[in-house]
Amino acid sequence: MDLASAKPSSWLSDQRARGLIYQILLIGCIAALACGAIYNAVVNMRARGIPMGFGFWNDVAGFDINLHLISYSNQSTYGRAFWVGLLNTLLVAAISIPLATLLGFVIGVARLSPNWLLSRLALVYTSIMRNTPLLLLLLFWYNVVLKSLPGPRQSISIGGAAFLNDRGLYLPLPVAREPASLFAGAVLAAIVLAFGFRAWARRRQDRTGAQAPTAVVAAALVLGLPALVTAAVGAPFTFDIARLSGFNFQGGLQIIPEMAALVFGLVTFTAAFIAEIVRAGVLAVPVGQSEAAGALGLHRDLSMKLVVIPQAMRLITPPLTSQFLNVVKNSSLAVFIGYPDLVQIFAGTVLNQTQAAVQVMAITMGVYLVISLVVALALNAFNARYALRGR
Amino acid sequence: MDSLAYVRDAPESEDAPPMMSSGVLAWARVNLFSSIGSSLVTIGCITLVAYWLPQLIAWATTRAIWSATDGALCRQHQDGACWAFIAAKWDYLRFGSYPVAERWRVDLVEAVGALLIAWLLWTNAPRRMWGALLFFIVYPILALVLLRGSSLLGLPVVDTLLWGGIFVSLLTAVVGIVFSLPLGVLLALGRRSPLPVVRTASILFIEFVRGVPFITILFMANNLAPLFLPEAWAPDRLLRPLAGIVIFSAAYMAEEIRGGLQSLGKGQYEGAMALGLNYPLMTALVILPQALTLVIPGIVNNFIGLFMDTTLVSVVGITDFLEAMNNAIKDPVWAGPTIMVTGYVFAGIFYFCFCFGMARYSAHVERILAKGRK
C-alpha cells in the first residue's frame, strides 16, 4: 500500500478536527451551564424579591462599625461600608505582613543557627504553628488571652503611657505640632545625604577597593539630623496619652482586641511558614558558593551578606509573595472574631441586609482577585529583573 | 601600582590546636557554646525552657482534674487543666448530635475509611490499585448510605442537621480529597492541553479559586448555589459547603499535579506515543502513574491544609470539631475559667497530632522517592 497517498479513513481521525470538536463541546457545556445558572438565578431572585442591580450601593446601611479609617456612621451608605471594610482588610494586612516577615526571618535564621538548642526551639515553633489551624490560633488569642485581660479600671499599665485591658491596647498617639515641617525636611535631607554617601562609597570602592561603613553613616545621618533639629527647636509632635475617665479610656490610639487578636494570629501563623521558606532558600544555595566566598577571603558574615543571601532571595521571593497573599486572604477569618474586615462587613452584614448575594459575592471576590493579580504582576516584574540570565 | 586594600600583605596568625574533638563536651562546645553569643543564647534558652516546661507539664498532668461529674471541682482548681470536661463531652465532640443508637454506623465508616487509607498510604502494600478503586468509588457510596441511612436497608435516615464533631471534620476532609483528586487531575491535564479553549478554561478556574479566600468560596457555595439551581434541586445544607471544599481543593490539587506532570521527562510521552498509545491510554498507563507517585508528598501536604481549612465550615453553620468544642465550652454545667483553655488546647493537640503525623508520612515518602531517583 502506498503510505503517502493513504488518506485518513474519515475526518474523525484527524487530530485537529477532533480538537476543534472537543473545544466546541466544552464551550457548549460551559455556555449551557452558565445560561441555566443565570436563568435559575433570575427566576429564583424574582420569586424571592431579591434586588437584581447595584441600586443597594447607595442605600443607607443603618449599622455601626467599630473601626473605620474613613468617616462612617450608621447613616452612611452600603458603598461607604464597603470601602471601610476594604480599608480595614488592607490595614490588617499592612500591619501583619511586615511583622510576620520580620518574625519569620528571625525564626528562619534561628532554625539555621549553628546553636543546636536554638535551632531545635525554632523547629518546635514552626512545627506547632504549621500543624495547627489558624482559626484555632485566632480563637485562642481572642477568647483566652485578650478576653481574660482585666477591665479598664484594673488596666495593665506599660510605663504609664500604654494601657492594656479587655477593651484593647491604648497606645500614645503622636500629634504633629509646629516644627513638624522642619523635622520632616531634616528626615528627607538625611535620606538624600545617605544615598549620596552610598553612591560615593561605591564609586570609591570600585576605584580603590577601600570599603566605607555605609550602614553606620546612613544610620547616623537618619537618626542624627532629626535629633539635632529636635534639640534645636523642640519636639515636632506631642503624644496624646490615653487616660481613664469614668468607666473607659479616652484619647490615645486604641487598638481594638479583635484587631490585636487577628494581627497576633496572622503574624504567629504566617511567620512559621516564612521561616521555612527562608530556611529552604538559604539551604538551596550550593555549598560551593559559600566555600568560594571563603576562598576569596570573605569572612562568614560578609559571605552571607554578599554571596549567599542575594542568591537565596531569588528563591525566597516567589513563595514569600504567595505568603503575603495568604495573609490578605487569611485576614478574612476576621469573621470568626468580629473584626470588621471586607468579608465580615460586606459579605456578611451587607449581604444579609440586602439579600443581594450575587452582586455582593461578585464584588468581594473581585476585590481579592484584583489584589492577587496586582501582586502577581509585581512578582513577574521582579522575576524578570532578578532572574538568572543565560540558563 | 597603588596598594590594593583587599589584597592581604601579612599572613594570618596561626590558630591554636583544637582542644577537644570528640565526646559530649566537644559536641556541646561546637553546638551550644561555640562563641560568647552562642553561649548566651544557649543559657537563655535553657532558662526559658527550664522555667516554662515544668509549669506546662504540671498544668497538663499533676495539677489537672482528670475526673469529675460537673465543673465544680475544676472551678476550685484553677491552676490545672480540666480534662474531665473533655471526657464528659467526648461523645459530643466525636459525633455531634448524631443519634446515640445509630453511632455504630459512624464508627464503622471511620474504621473502614482508616483501613482503606492505611492500605493506600502503605507504600509496599499489595494491590494498591484495588485499594484506590475501593476508596475512590465504593467507599463514598458505602459511607453515604451508612451515614445518611436508607429506608430500603432498614437504616433510619439521619438528617445532616444532627451531624457534627470530629466525624464531620474527617468527612469534609475525606470528601474534599476523594473528589478533588480526580477533578484536580482533569484540571492539571487541561492546563497542559494543546487545545486553547480547554487550557484557558482550566487556567481561569484554577487562578480564580486560588485568588480568593476559602471563606468566600464557602459563602458562595452556601448563598449562591441555591440561587443558581432550580428550586426543586435545593442542595442539602451540608452538601453546599462540601461542594465548596471540593472546588477549592481541586484548584490547589491541580497545581500540585501539574508540578508532577512537568517533572516527567519528554521521553515518557514520546515513548508512549512510539508504542502507538493514544492520548487517554498514554495518560492513564504511562504519565499519570508516574506523575501521581511523584506528587504523593504534595498531595498529603495539601490534605493537611485541607484538614485545617475544614475548621472554617462553621461559618456556614456546620458543626465541625472546633465548632462542637465551642458549643461544649458554652455549657453552663461546666462553665469555669479553665474550661476554655482546656478545650482549645485539646483541640490544638488533636489537630497537631493529625497533621504532624501526616507531615511526617509525607517527608518519609519524599525520602523514598528521592532514593529511587538518585
Grid cell for residue B211:
485568588
| Same domain assignment for residues A270 and A364 | yes
Pair A197, A218: CB distance under 8 Å: yes
Q: Which among B34, B220, B230 is the nearest to A40, CB-wise?
A: B230
Q: Which chain B residue shows the shortest CA-CA distance from A17? A: B195
Contacts of B283 (CB under 8 A, 6+ apart): B189
Give the span between the Cα atoms of B24 and B40, in whole angstroms: 19
Could you say which residues from 344 to 383 on chain A have a Cβ atom under 8 Å away from some Cβ of chain B? 347, 351, 357-358, 361, 364-365, 368-369, 372-373
Per-residue pLDDT of A111-166, as tens digits, reads 988 888 899 999 999 999 999 999 999 999 998 888 878 887 788 887 777 888 88
| Same domain assignment for residues A261 and A335 | yes
Give the span between the Cα atoms of B169 and B311, in whole angstroms: 7
pLDDT (mean) for A229-255: 77
| Same domain assignment for residues A235 and A262 | no
Percent of chain A with pLDDT over 70: 96
| Same domain assignment for residues A158 and A218 | no
Where do the CATH 1.10.3720.10 domains begin and end in chain B?
83-373
Q: What's the pLDDT score for residue A1?
A: 46
Contacts of A171 (CB under 8 A, 6+ apart): A161, A162, A242, A252, A253, A255
Q: What sign does the dihedral A125-A131-A134-A140 (CA atoms) show?
A: negative
Pair A78, A354: CB distance under 8 Å: yes
Q: Which among A23, A297, A361 is the nearest to B195, CB-wise?
A: A23
| Same domain assignment for residues A210 and A273 | no
Long-range contacts of B189-192 (CB under 8 A, 24+ apart): B189/B261, B189/B283, B191/B254, B191/B258, B192/B258, B192/B261, B192/B262
Last residue within a domain, chosen from A225, A240, A255 = A240
Residue A40 lies in a domain: no
| Same domain assignment for residues A232 and A306 | no
Residue A95 lies in a domain: yes
User: Could you count the other beta carbons within 10 Å of the beta carbon of residue B160?
Assistant: 15
Residue A295 lies in a domain: yes
Q: What's the pLDDT score for residue B158?
A: 82
Give the span between the Cα atoms of B41 and A117, in whole angstroms: 9
Give the span between the Cα atoms of A195 and B332, in whole angstroms: 64
A66 reaches B (C-beta below 8 A): no
State the residue range of the domain holding A195.
173-240
Grid cell for residue B228:
443558581
Cβ separation of B46 and A117 shorter than 8 Å? yes
Pair A277, A320: CB distance under 8 Å: yes
Q: How confident is the model at residue A107 (pLDDT cuts 50, 70, 90)?
A: very high
Half-sphere exposure of B187 (CA within 13 A, CB side): 28
Pair B119, B131: CB distance under 8 Å: yes
A180 reaches B (C-beta below 8 A): no
Give the span between the Cα atoms of B289 and A224, in whole angstroms: 65
Could you say which residues from 302 to 331 on chain A have a Cβ atom under 8 Å away from some Cβ of chain B? 329-330
Pair B183, B249: CB distance under 8 Å: no
Residue A165: which H helix or E strand, with range?
strand A162-165
Residue A21 lies in a domain: no
Q: A251 or B274, which is more confident?
A: B274
pLDDT (mean) for A323-352: 91
pLDDT at residue A391 is higher than 50: no
Residue A12 lies in a domain: no
Q: How confident is the model at residue A245 (pLDDT cuts 50, 70, 90)?
A: confident
Which residues from A are below 8 Å from B194, CB to CB?
Answer: 19
| Same domain assignment for residues A207 and A224 | yes
| Same domain assignment for residues A141 and A157 | yes
Pair B155, B146: CB distance under 8 Å: yes
Q: How confident is the model at residue A368 (pLDDT cuts 50, 70, 90)?
A: very high
Pair B215, A343: CB distance under 8 Å: yes
A131 reaches B (C-beta below 8 A): yes
pLDDT at residue A5 is higher than 90: no
**Where do runs of H (alpha helix) occur along chain A?**
15-48, 78-112, 116-130, 134-139, 180-208, 214-233, 257-284, 287-295, 300-303, 309-330, 334-337, 342, 351-354, 357-386
pTM, 2 dp: 0.86
Q: What's the pLDDT score for residue A192?
A: 92
Residue A168: which H helix or E strand, with range?
strand A168-171
Residue A4 lies in a domain: no
Q: How many structural domains are present in chain A?
A: 2
Residue A352 lies in a domain: yes
Residue A5 lies in a domain: no
Give A49 to chain B, closest Cα distance, Å.
12
The CATH number of the domain holding residue A246 is 1.10.3720.10
pLDDT < 50: residue spans in chain B: 374
Q: Cα-flanking dihedrals φ and ψ of residue A244, to 5°?
A: -75, 125
Q: How far is CA A63 from CA A59, A70, A103, in A?
A: 12, 15, 37
Cβ separation of B340 and A211 shorter than 8 Å? no
User: Hey, of A27, A337, A361, which one would you mutate to test binding to chain B, going by the most B CBs within 10 A of its CB?
Assistant: A361
pLDDT at residue A265 is higher than 70: yes
Q: Which chain A residue shows the shortest CA-CA distance from B353? A: A131
| Same domain assignment for residues A228 and A313 | no
Q: Which among A22, A134, A357 is the nearest to B195, CB-wise?
A: A22
Last residue within a domain, chosen from A240, A257, A278 = A240
Give the span between the Cα atoms of B12 and A187, in whole angstroms: 43
Cβ separation of B45 and A117 shorter than 8 Å? yes
Specify the CATH number of the domain B83-373. Answer: 1.10.3720.10
| Same domain assignment for residues A207 and A351 | no
Cβ separation of B322 and A136 shorter than 8 Å? yes
Pairs across A and B, CB distance < 8 A:
157
Give the span between the Cα atoms of A161 and A171, in whole angstroms: 7
Distance of CA A108 to the CA centre of its chain: 18
Last residue within a domain, chosen from A196, A222, A240 = A240
